[in-house]
Amino acid sequence: MNNADLFTILPLIAAVLAATAVLLVDLILPRRRDVALATALIALAIVAVITIAVGGQERTAYGGAYTVDRLTTFLDVLFVAIVGLTIAFAPDYLEPRDLPIAEFSIVLIFAMSGAMLIAASTDLLLLFLGLELMVLPGYLLAGFHKTDGYSTEGAIKYFLLGSFSSAIFLFGLAFVWGLTGSTRVAEIAARLTTLGAGGVSAGLAMGLAFMTTGVAFKIAAVPFHYWTPDAYQGSPTPVTGYLSVGPKVGAFALILRLFVEALAPLKNQWEAVIVVLAALTMTLGNLVALTQNNVKRMLAYSSIAHTGYMLVGLAAYAAGRMEGLQGLLFYGAAYSFMNLGAFAVVGALQRRAGVTSNLETFAGLGRREPLLGILMTLFLLSLTGIPPTAGFFAKAYVILAAVQAGGPLAVLAVIAVLNAAAAAFYYLRVVVYMFMREPQTDAPPLAHSRLLWGGLGVATALTIVLGLIPGPLLEIVGQAAKAIG
């Protein structure tokens, strides 16, 4: 290790120190939740600044195992934004239930450090370490409300299935390492060019199958999605919001480093699998979401469907369209902000203990709390893909890339458009309840914290700005895509 290596990994060090700082503040001032929250948010802002400063030029550390490039910087800043918004939304839900906010923030930041490690890893061992550092805190967060049976049940299912999928993924990595003799991403790509020239061997096919299964679970792709509805519905609502975007974007970062870089010579082999996964994931996610009367569970199946849309971008890239990779990255950012905003509104309504996330809870929200109703409508319209929101352009870019790729991808684009139209029904049904149904209770509206309103303001602004002015983000994701494509 030398000074250059330390400077390169400085964003990761800053993330770990941020979690440590919150831990120390909580130990010294255990009753001052406001101080712990302020420490977490300030520390995250510092991490973002350091990330941007270090990412000014491409750097490598530890013999090429750790790389900072445009993709790393983009993903790291996105991870920081996701965790920062989650922490801002959490107190309104956690405080009435007497759940520890400092511990929540610490676990989240450690999970973020795992995602950051994935984004920068160009070595299979580091990729797996980053993956586990990201998902293990997720298991803890899913069961954060220890006295709630649903939270415990969801956490157990998530942990058991997650452990199996990690083991399967590790088997796949072992096959690739055994056949190529290296764990470095660049060396694997070079050796697979030779190995794959005469066709894919049985061992390599097994490795691809294991790795695809492992990552498909992490992104909740059909048919590896079974854990998602129970884990999302049982988790505390701020945790559900995080799980729907944080681990998903982190897992797609893993896919980019592994499939787009290391396994690029074999993309003709895994392209067909991605096309099938995308079609199944979109269709099943939307069809089951149509039948849900619980908004958290509906958003869980919606999250599955959005995974399918993102896979459309990956499939388009495999078919030779760089625009697919750009669309995937744009979709990841846009989806993160609009989905976190939607879950923040759900959590705000649950500030009063005992309030469920059933559709009836949203009845008359447009009259009881007009601002929350308007913001929820905006986020749902963006999730639907109505212009000029960020969600519209996110869907448009991945679908357009698929159309340009032609062949089977054109059929996949048609399936994506049909699914987007079907999704409008269950999203707009919530809007109907908010503005066209009578309230189910006469209870007065609750006062919400300034932190919640501030977080909602940021999510709202990004959802609108990325829809009206997508150019700057498109330029950023274009540079990020070129770093690996």
Q: Is the peptide bond before 30 cis (omega within 30 degrees of 0)?
A: no
Across residues 351-357, what is the average pLDDT?
Answer: 75
Q: What is the 3-state secondary structure (H, E, C) of 162-203?
A: HHHHHHHHHHHHHHHHHHHCCCEHHHHHHHHHHHHHHCCCHH
Q: Please report the sign of the dihedral spanned by the C-alpha atoms of residue 286, residue 162, residue 269, residue 330.
A: positive
> Which pLDDT belongs to residue 408?
85
> Which pLDDT belongs to residue 197?
61
352: pLDDT strictly greater than 80? no
Q: What are phi and psi of 123, to 5 degrees?
A: -145, 140
> Of 259, 263, 304, 269, nearest to 283 (Cα)?
304
The tokens describing 206, both together, are 């097994």
Q: Evaluate whether 247 touches 132 at the Cβ level (below 8 Å).
A: no
CA-CA distance, 204 to 190, in Å (whole number)? 15
440: pLDDT strictly greater than 80? no
Calculate helix-pair angle for 101-120, 10-28, nearest 10 degrees. Answer: 170
> Which pLDDT belongs to residue 386?
92
pLDDT in tens, 251-269: 999 999 999 988 888 888 8
Q: Which residues pair with 184 in a beta bridge?
A: 123
pLDDT in tens, 175-210: 989 888 888 988 998 888 887 666 677 888 888 899
CA-CA distance, 23 to 223, in Å (whole number)? 39
Q: Which whole-number Å values give the CA distances from 425 to 43, 229, 432, in the listed order? A: 41, 19, 10
Count of residues in the chain: 485
> Of 103, 140, 138, 135, nearest to 117 (Cα)?
135
> Which pLDDT belongs to residue 465?
95
pLDDT in tens, 285-308: 999 999 988 898 999 999 999 999
pLDDT in tens, 74-133: 999 999 999 999 999 999 888 888 888 999 999 999 999 999 999 999 999 999 999 999
Q: Which residues neighbour 316 within 8 Å (Cβ) at sequence distance 6 or greater?
A: 323, 324, 327, 398, 401, 402, 404, 405, 409
> Which pLDDT belongs to residue 193?
83
Confidence band of 153 (pLDDT split at 50, 70, 90): confident
> Which pLDDT belongs to residue 199?
65
pLDDT in tens, 206-221: 888 999 999 999 998 9
The tokens describing 484, both together, are 């690996």
> Which pLDDT belongs to residue 371?
92
> Which run of H or E residues covers position 60?
strand 59-61
- Work out the mean pLDDT of the chain and round it to a whole number: 90
Confidence band of 345 (pLDDT split at 50, 70, 90): very high
CA-CA distance, 52 to 332, in Å (whole number)? 19
> Which pLDDT belongs to residue 198?
60
Q: Evaluate whether 245 touches 168 at the Cβ level (below 8 Å).
A: no
> Of 51, 63, 72, 50, nearest to 1 (Cα)?
63
> Of 337, 333, 297, nearest to 456 (Cα)?
337
CA-CA distance, 23 to 159, in Å (whole number)? 25
> Of 271, 4, 1, 9, nearest to 130 (Cα)?
9
